[in-house]
A and B are shown apart, each in its own frame.
Chain A
Amino acid sequence: MIAVIVVIVIVVVLALGLWAAYNGLVRSRNQVDNAWSQIDVQLKRRHDLIPNLVESVKGYMQFEQDTLTRVTNARAAAVAAGAQGPAAQAQAENALTNTLRSLFAVVENYPDLKANQNVISLQEELTTTENKISFARQFYNDSVMSYNTKIQSFPANTIAGMFNFTARQFFEGDAADREVPKVDLGMQAPPVQLQQPAAPAPAPQQPPAPQAQPPVAPQQPPATPQQ
C-alpha cells in the first residue's frame, strides 16, 4: 500500500517536473522568436528609410555617386539576405551598416546637407534605428544564450530532445568591429614570429642550463641574437 503511494507520488512529481520544464522551454523559445521579430522590424525600418535618405542627399552629392551606389547595393543585398537565416542576414546587414557609416562620414563634408532639416531628421531616424538594431540584437543574443543553455543542460535536455527543441543561431556582431582589432593582431605578429625562430634555439641551450626557469629561458636567448 505504502509502496503504491510512493510510486504514485514519484510519478506525480516527475510529471509536474516535466510539465514545468516543458513550459519553461516553450517560454524561452517564444522569447527568442519575439526577440528575433523585434530585430526584423528594425531591419525593415532601416531598409525603408534608406531610399528616402539616398533621395534627399542625391542632389547635393553629385561627386559621391559611388558611395550612394554602394549603399543602395548593400541595401538590396540585405533585403535579399532576409530569407537566408540569422547568420547570412547578419553579414549582409553589417555590410549595410558600414556603407551607411561611410555615407554619413561623407555627409560631414557638405555643410548644406548637414543643415538640411530633412537630412537631419533622417539621420536621427537612422541613428536610432541603428541603436535599436544593436539593442534588439543584444536582447536576441541574450535570449538565445539562455535558451541554448537551457536546452543543453540536464534535465531539460532530455525533454528538449523529445520535443525537438533545437539550438538557435546567434546574430553575430559587426564584422567591421571585429576588423578593427585586426590591426592590433598585425602589431602582435612580429613578436610571435620572433619567438618562433627562437624556439629551436633554446633547445640546445637547455642541457647546460636545466635549472633556469623554462618560461624565462626561451625568451632571453632570442633577445640577444636579435640585438
Chain B
Amino acid sequence: MYEQIARNKRDSVLLVVVIVAVLLTLGFAIGAAYSRTYLGGVGLLGVFGVVAIVWSLIGYYGGSGIVLAASQAQRVTREQAPVLWNVVEEMSIAAGVPMPAVYVIADAAPNAFATGRDPKHASVAVTAGLLQMMSRDELQGVIAHEMSHVRNFDIRFATLVGVLVGMIALVADFFLRSTFFGGFGGRRGNNDSGGAGAIFFLIAILLAILAPFFAWMVQLAVSRHREYLADASGVELTRNPLGLAHALQKIAADPRPLQVATRATAHLYIANPLKGRKTRESAGLFDTHPPIQKRIQILLDMAHAAPGALTPPSTTPQQAPGA
C-alpha cells in the first residue's frame, strides 16, 4: 500500500516533468518562430518557465479553492450533515489521514470528488443527490474512493497537471489564432520568405496543434488509471467491495448530468459527470473515466459475487442517510 503511494508520487513527478518539458518546448518553438533566432526561443522558454512556475504555485495553493468555488460547493459542519461527516471521519481514520474539509454541492445528480494539495489540505465534496440516493454502505464506498485519492496524492497530481495542461492549451490556442488571423508574428513570418523563420514557424504550428492533445491524453490516461486504483484502495479501507459497486451502479443508472461540472473539472469526479450516455467496453483516448460497468465488474469480482447479486440492493427503496 505504501509502496503504491511512493510509486504514485514518483510517477506524478515524472509526468509533471514531461508536461513541463512539452510546455517549454512549445515556448521555445513559438519564441524562435516569432524572433527567428534561437535566442528568442530561449527567451520565451524562460518566460514560459517563469509563468508555469507562478501558475503552478497558484494552482498548488489555491487550486482546490478555485475548483470548489467553480463547482459551487458549500462547506458543511458536523451539525449540518452528521451522517456524511461521520462517514468521512470513519474513512479518514481507516486511511490514517487527517479529517478533510467536507463540502456539499446542491445538485440532484449523484457524484463526488476530492481536491487539495496533500492529505493535510484536502477537501471532499459530494452532491446532495448522492447523499439522498445512497445507503450508508454505499456512501462509505464513495467516500473511501475519494479518501484513496487523497491518501495516494492523486489530488495533488490532478491539480498540478490540470493547471499545466490548461496552460499548454491556452498558449497553443493563442499562438494558432494569432497566426491564422494574421497577427504581428504571422506578418513578419510571411515577409521573411524562406530561411530559418519559416521552418521555425512550421515546427511551432505543428507543436501548437499536437502539444495540447499530447498533454491532454497523458493526463486522461493517468486519470483513468488512478480511478481503478482508487476503487481498489477504497475497498482496502472499507473491506466491502459491494458498497462501492452498488454506489457506482446507482450513479450509472442516473441519467442526469451534473450542472456545475465542466470539461476542466470532469476528471476529478468519481464518475464522469457529463454523462455521454455511452456504455462501451473499453475507454477511448479522450475519456476522463474508465467504463463504469467495467469498474463495477472488477468490484463484484473482488466480492466473488455474480452480477445478479447486484440487483436486489439497487431495486430496494432508497434509504436516505438524512443529511
Of all chain A residues, the one with the shortest Cβ separation from B90 is A131
B239 within 8 A of A: yes
- In the complex the two chains form, is A38's CB within 8 Å of B86's CB? no
- In the complex the two chains form, is B96's CB within 8 Å of A139's CB? yes
Q: Which of A132-159 contact B (CB under 8 A)?
A: 132, 135-136, 138-139, 142-143, 146
How many residues from B make CB contacts under 8 Å with A? Answer: 16
Q: Which of A31, A121, A139, A143 contacts B93 (CB 8 A)?
A: A139
Question: What chain B residues lie within 8 Å of A139 (beta carbons)?
Answer: 93-96
- In the complex the two chains form, is A121's CB within 8 Å of B239's CB? no
- In the complex the two chains form, is B93's CB within 8 Å of A38's CB? yes
Question: What chain A residues lie within 8 Å of B95 (beta carbons)?
Answer: 139
Q: A135-B237, A138-B239 are in contact. Are A128 and B86 (CB under 8 A)?
A: yes
Q: Which of A11-54 contact B (CB under 8 A)?
A: 31, 34-35, 38, 42
Question: What chain A residues lie within 8 Å of B94 (beta carbons)?
Answer: 135-136, 138-139
A124 within 8 A of B: yes
- In the complex the two chains form, is B90's CB within 8 Å of A35's CB? no
| Residue interface mask B91-102, A partner, CB < 8 A = 1 | 101111000000
- In the complex the two chains form, is A135's CB within 8 Å of B90's CB? yes
B83 within 8 A of A: yes
Question: What chain B residues lie within 8 Å of A138 (beta carbons)?
Answer: 94, 239
Q: Which of B76-95 contact A (CB under 8 A)?
A: 82-83, 86-87, 89-91, 93-95
Bound complex: CA A187 to CA B79 (Å)? 49
Which 10 residue pairs are nearest across A and B when measured between Cβ atoms?
A: A128-B86, A135-B94, A131-B90, A135-B93, A136-B93, A139-B96, A132-B90, A132-B93, A135-B90, A139-B94
17 contacts between A and B (CB under 8 A): A34-B96, A124-B82, A125-B86, A127-B86, A127-B136, A128-B86, A128-B87, A131-B86, A135-B90, A135-B94, A135-B237, A136-B94, A138-B239, A139-B95, A139-B96, A142-B1, A143-B96
Which residues of chain B have a CB within 8 Å of any CB of chain A? Answer: 1-2, 82-83, 86-87, 89-91, 93-96, 136, 237, 239
Which residues of chain A have a CB within 8 Å of any CB of chain B? Answer: 31, 34-35, 38, 42, 121, 124-125, 127-128, 131-132, 135-136, 138-139, 142-143, 146
